[in-house]
Structure 1
Amino acid sequence: MEAMDSVAVMEVAAVPDPVFVGAAPLTPPPEASVLRRSARCLNRPRAPIYTEKEEPKQSTGRRGRPKKKRDAENHDPAAEAQAPAKVARKTPKAEPKEKKPMPVVEPISAADFAGAAAEEDALGKGKSAKLRVKETLRAFNSHYLHLVQEEQKRAQAVIQEIEASKNKKAGKKGGEDEIKEKRPSKRPDLKAITRMQENNSVLYTEKVIGQIPGIDVGDQFYSRAEMVVLGVHSHWLNGIDYMGMKYKEMKGYANFSFPLATCIVMSGIYEDDLDKADEIIYTGQGGNDLLGNHRQIGSQKLARGNLALKNSKDNGNPVRVIRGHVAKNSYTGKVYTYDGLYKVVEDWVQNGVQGHVVFKYKLKRLEGQPSLTTSEVRFTRAEAPRNISELPGLVCDDISGGQENIPIPATNLVDDPPVPPPGFAYIKSLKISKGIKIPSDCAGCDCEGDCASNKNCSCAKLNGSDLPYVSFKDVGRLVEPKAVVFECGPNCSCNRNCVNRTSQQGLQHRLEVFKTASKGWGVRTWDTILPGAPICEYVGVLRKTEDVESLLHNNYIFDIDCLQTMKGLDGREKRAGSDMQLPSLHAENDTEAPPAPEYCIDAGSIGNVARFINHSCNPNLFVQCVLISHKDVKLAKVMLFAADTILPLQELCYDYGYVLNSVVSATGDIIELPCYCGAPDCRKRLY
């Protein structure tokens, strides 16, 4: 849609009647305070920041007053401060350098290996193993999307060269040679591994026997490359990962035979494999037809991975098992699931189906582990519903009333009787308060079709020479969080499906609003959402910040603090592009420490699905400021994007960003609000 289609100027009236028939009016909490969210919700930095292994700031502190609705609902408000609040800021702490885990060999109990992982969490001292896994995957995805963008640009350049050569009499044959010589690489994931190895940002560089700290049974990976950078399975092609002879010299391994298996991947490559879930008949490596027909074309040898599995049977060490399944939403066409620890209990040699010698291994799953989430033929984990009408606790078929591209149902299994979300009217477009004028003076590009095919796009230059998005299966993905994203707007000549209009395409994923037990209403996805994918815009009434100071009991105020983020004020961590020159950054507007963002979005009485998204100290979304029809960052559009791969039925969340001890009462006392997000690295308090 065009940029100006998403806003409508209006004079804001009183709170409208609830959109749901019979819904109760919005009851404000007793505290006289106002939620202030911000565009700095998740410090998902560029890849180089991850590779430096520095401690992130304790929080990206959001200016404003307490948010209570989701983290305090269903808890005793008398235990919390009652006075109005204002912000004070603290300096974040630093974290000591990460300690690498030592391999564990001797035990064969699953419970013992789970204990080793828990110990590693404790050694993290402020950063759990789970968080380090998430950071590593974010770094990988950042590298991967950058490399996809590079390959797409190179492919486009090759196409242009070929087209130019066809216009020459003798150019046709030469053009064909160019295609063979310069065709783009199809494996940016492997290049991402190399980048991370060069930057020393692979999580576990030494191989580990047993459970990997931060990796739980049921965790999924969307390529073997992801498993490599985590250290789960250290080879992107081989099915058997093992420790080589160098480990024999390390402490604790002197009495073991090497090589020693650490992990296997079952993905249907060998026709002799047999999967009975808790028991596996696994075919050794070698002699397989790599053309994809799964046939054995040669005999195997007792060496490398095959010898490693035999030695693991003799040594008694556990082996991690990964199962691969076909997945259309994965860029590799598969998804890999960690299914726990198995023990090699038997090995033998036989002639395979094609008559060639193969090595066979029987593995049995160790007891005391979480239940399997995968089987030989299908996933058995919870699946998203297929029919809205069959949803348990359904209280509304579509809270948007048909305004969104996709219906958004609401469910409530907490209240008795169940009630829908009360006290607001759904809107799809941002509303503008009287007295605020949105500029529309941004010059547009003159590209034809999609701007990704034009190396001279003027909108790309605003973003630092490259477009901020890369297209994946016709869906735009943000390559990295930026200080601000410049999209094509109403004055651009490119088509409406241009990748640089990604935030303007409306809802792309199936979402559900649901009542939580302790945080009020929340939002979860029915689809797999990939990193960098757009979720939704934060919609409400655009107001001047000074006008909402008197609006007490409003828990849905979102400060547009893009300007403060670009300047790195109040402990904010700068993003890519923070040094750009914009009219709103000129000297007359350049104060050392602005008291507050000048504008905010009020979703208290009218808003969209974004108003229901909860806080988490370990979020899977981040907030991105976007400019379309103008260059005033103080009036930027606020968008939510996926920071991680989000699986079906996972709750969506972002970090509200308060600094601990930053909210004080009128008398100067620190106000504390408990956090109930449940994240492994929860700060225990929202502020």
Structure 2
Amino acid sequence: MKSNGSVLYNEKMIGHLPGISVGDQFFSRAEMVVLGIHSHWLNGIDYMGEKYAKLPQYHSYTFPVATCIVLSGVYEDDLDNSEDVIYTGQGGNDLLGRRHQIQDQKMIRGNLALKNNMACGVPVRVIRGHGSANSYCGKIYTYDGLYKVIKYWAEKGVSGFTVFKYRLSRLEGQPTLTTNQVHYSRTQVPTSISELRGLVCDDISGGQEKFPIPATNIVDDPPLPPSGFLYSKSIQLGKNIKLPSVACGCKCKGECVDPRSCSCARLNGNDFPYVRRDGGRLVEAKAVVFECGPHCHCSTTCVNRTSQHGLRYRLEVYRTPKKGWAVRSWDTIPSGAPVCEYTGILTKTDDNGLDPENNYIFDIDCLQTIKGLDGRERRPGDISSLIDLDDKKSEAPEYCIDAGSIGSVARFINHSCAPNLFVQCILSQHQDIKVAKIMLFAADNIPPLQELSYDYGYVLDSVVGADGALKKLRCFCGSADCRKWLY
């Protein structure tokens, strides 16, 4: 088809190609060659050579110039943060073996072309390839729009050979990304913190958690660590705030196994909310989960204390181009597993000392969820014995958690309109739903290196600034069903 001149675009072009839209998918590289969006069967960088320098429209360019790159996990040094990419140049790769570098790269052909893109200010098309059983070649390729090359450098790669690295940033004003693969930042989980590029902090928890929580930043220049807060794995009480008295506990010996004789299980509808698999997993999201507490006679290994054992998965905080800091896991998190607790300073929502510009306020709105207010989906569970659900006073949260200056890793988890975590209210120390513990659980099986997210639960046009005017904030979650606005 190429030799017959029957491909869609026989000559290479810079920028978007008419008739091919952001989000269009291709079931093989052959399709991309036929369309002309990327004209190489194997190379990751497609570029225009010296022959194009003779055309008048390109007289100001230095050739070669790259037109398109494919990101598909071929290079072990690639990093992909959706809107911001660290792309490894071509050459020196053992394509027929384990796809590791086997020799140094050279500043020629596609590598030189990407360098010239930066110098000339020419954007490059980015296509991402990701595994798919629906494609006869095992992959689907998605066109994700135009990116600009903003920096390049040479460094020793993972395998010890020199590679060229290019940092690309997605141009503004394009359709929202839809490729699921862009939620992955690396192709491989690091074996140690020392391997992390852009490491700005070894452990933001300062040793408080079971595992160190590193922070990385390949977005800012210079790269700065998270700042302006103190890490705390537990709730701190605000001024004049007191927790209710400790609830009476169950009389079980050893571990709770019989829901008929366990008073905590009876509060959970005569059943245990967790199954023991993978260290304890929540069977379903509930109105509230009653866990065994300080006055219970059961052991600390009881399955009904699942949320009380701290972090179980290795987490990393990392910088994103548009959403600020974000969180990902190095481990697979199974559905229903507890991830982390949202901590900070427990205070009243009507506290005049709260900063209206503080974006780390978490209203303890368990009652609002239970009552199905503001479009929330009702959850199973009966707590009528603890609270009068007909009380109109309970329609607004009375308490909140302020994580602006003190908080855990949960303060860095972003909103998504299609989240992989959900919020679960838990009672163990006491039985006051208005000051319940806030835990984040996995809503689905979450693979390593996928960004963690939950729905912040804002209602549109519900946030008012200090001046009394409505505040608006765009959503950059990138999900296919994105509501476009966070509030």
Return the TM-score normalized by structure 1: 0.44
1:110 is aligned to: 27
Residues 521 and 668 of structure 1: CA distance in aligned 2, closer, same or farther (over 3 Å)? closer
Query: RMSD between aligned alpha carbons?
Result: 2.8
Matching of residue 504 in structure 1 with residue 298 in structure 2: no
- Would the aligned equivalents of 1:447 and 1:454 in 2 still touch at CA under 8 Å? no
SS of match in other structure, 1:623: strand
- Would the aligned equivalents of 1:569 and 1:593 in 2 still touch at CA under 8 Å? no
Residues 586 and 110 of structure 1: CA distance in aligned 2, closer, same or farther (over 3 Å)? closer
- Would the aligned equivalents of 1:582 and 1:632 in 2 still touch at CA under 8 Å? no
**Separation in 2 of the partners of 1:665 and 1:557?**
14
Matching of residue 565 in structure 1 with residue 383 in structure 2: no
- Would the aligned equivalents of 1:394 and 1:409 in 2 still touch at CA under 8 Å? yes
Residues 462 and 594 of structure 1: CA distance in aligned 2, closer, same or farther (over 3 Å)? closer
**Separation in 2 of the partners of 1:507 and 1:567?**
30
User: C-alpha displacement at 1:429, in angstroms?
Assistant: 1.2
SS of match in other structure, 2:346: strand
User: C-alpha displacement at 1:572, in angstroms?
Assistant: 2.5
Residues 522 and 366 of structure 1: CA distance in aligned 2, closer, same or farther (over 3 Å)? closer
**Separation in 1 of the partners of 2:401 and 2:213?**
22
2:473 is aligned to: 673
Deviations 1:650-673 (A, max 9, x none): 010111112223345688865432
Task: Give the structure with the larger helix fraction.
Answer: 1
1:580 is aligned to: 383
1:405 is aligned to: 210
Aligned with residue 282 of structure 2, among 478, 485, 494: 478
Aligned with residue 272 of structure 2, among 467, 471, 475: 467
Matching of residue 456 in structure 1 with residue 261 in structure 2: yes
Residues 370 and 661 of structure 1: CA distance in aligned 2, closer, same or farther (over 3 Å)? closer
Residues matched between the structures, number: 325
Deviations 1:584-621 (A, max 9, x none): x138xx53264631111011111110000011111100
Residues 594 and 487 of structure 1: CA distance in aligned 2, closer, same or farther (over 3 Å)? closer
**Separation in 1 of the partners of 2:305 and 2:475?**
36
SS of match in other structure, 2:257: helix
- Would the aligned equivalents of 1:340 and 1:369 in 2 still touch at CA under 8 Å? no
Residues 630 and 419 of structure 1: CA distance in aligned 2, closer, same or farther (over 3 Å)? same
Aligned with residue 551 of structure 1, among 338, 345, 355: 355
Counting only pairs closer than 5 Å after superposition, residues 134-533 of structure 1 correspond to structure 2 as 338-342=132-136, 365=137, 369=141, 382-452=187-257, 455-473=260-278, 475-533=279-337
SS of match in other structure, 1:641: strand
Q: Which runs of 5+ in 2 are unaligned?
A: 1-25, 33-71, 74-95, 98-130, 144-185
The AA in structure 1 aligned to 2:456 is Y
User: C-alpha displacement at 1:581, in angstroms?
Assistant: 1.9
**Separation in 1 of the partners of 2:317 and 2:466?**
36
User: C-alpha displacement at 1:458, in angstroms?
Assistant: 1.2
The AA in structure 2 aligned to 1:341 is S
Return the TM-score normalized by structure 2: 0.62
Deviations 1:67-122 (A, max 9, x none): xxxxxxxxxxxxxxxxxxxxxxxxxxxxxxxxxxxxxxxxxx8379x99xxxxxxx
Residues 456 and 521 of structure 1: CA distance in aligned 2, closer, same or farther (over 3 Å)? same
SS of match in other structure, 1:547: coil
**Separation in 2 of the partners of 1:551 and 1:466?**
42
Task: Give the structure with the larger strand fraction.
Answer: 2
**Separation in 1 of the partners of 2:326 and 2:138?**
37
Aligned with residue 422 of structure 2, among 618, 622, 627: 622
Quick one: higher RCO (CA 8 Å, sep 6+), 1 or 2?
Answer: 1
**Separation in 2 of the partners of 1:442 and 1:432?**
19
- Would the aligned equivalents of 2:28 and 2:135 in 1 still touch at CA under 8 Å? no
- Would the aligned equivalents of 2:356 and 2:465 in 1 still touch at CA under 8 Å? no
User: C-alpha displacement at 1:683, in angstroms?
Assistant: 0.8
1:683 is aligned to: 483
User: C-alpha displacement at 1:434, in angstroms?
Assistant: 3.0
The AA in structure 1 aligned to 2:380 is A
1:289 is aligned to: none
SS of match in other structure, 1:513: strand
The AA in structure 1 aligned to 2:27 is A
- Would the aligned equivalents of 1:510 and 1:526 in 2 still touch at CA under 8 Å? yes
Deviations 1:219-243 (A, max 9, x none): xxxxxxxxxxxxxxxxxxxxxxxxx
**Separation in 1 of the partners of 2:396 and 2:195?**
46
- Would the aligned equivalents of 2:335 and 2:445 in 1 still touch at CA under 8 Å? yes
1:655 is aligned to: 455
User: C-alpha displacement at 1:366, in angstroms?
Assistant: 7.9
1:212 is aligned to: none
Residues 498 and 594 of structure 1: CA distance in aligned 2, closer, same or farther (over 3 Å)? closer
Residues 501 and 595 of structure 1: CA distance in aligned 2, closer, same or farther (over 3 Å)? closer
Aligned with residue 539 of structure 1, among 310, 322, 343: 343
**Separation in 2 of the partners of 1:472 and 1:457?**
20
The AA in structure 2 aligned to 1:382 is T
Deviations 1:554-607 (A, max 9, x none): 111100011222222333221011x32233x138xx532646311110111111
SS of match in other structure, 1:461: helix
Deviations 1:499-520 (A, max 9, x none): 1001100000000000111111
Residues 550 and 366 of structure 1: CA distance in aligned 2, closer, same or farther (over 3 Å)? closer
More off after superposition, 592-601 vs 634-643: 592-601
The AA in structure 2 aligned to 1:555 is N
The AA in structure 2 aligned to 1:414 is V
SS of match in other structure, 2:350: helix
- Would the aligned equivalents of 1:527 and 1:647 in 2 still touch at CA under 8 Å? yes
Aligned with residue 643 of structure 1, among 443, 451, 459: 443
**Separation in 1 of the partners of 2:440 and 2:395?**
25
The AA in structure 2 aligned to 1:606 is I
Q: Which has the larger radius of gyration?
A: 1
**Separation in 2 of the partners of 1:427 and 1:495?**
25
- Would the aligned equivalents of 2:326 and 2:414 in 1 still touch at CA under 8 Å? yes
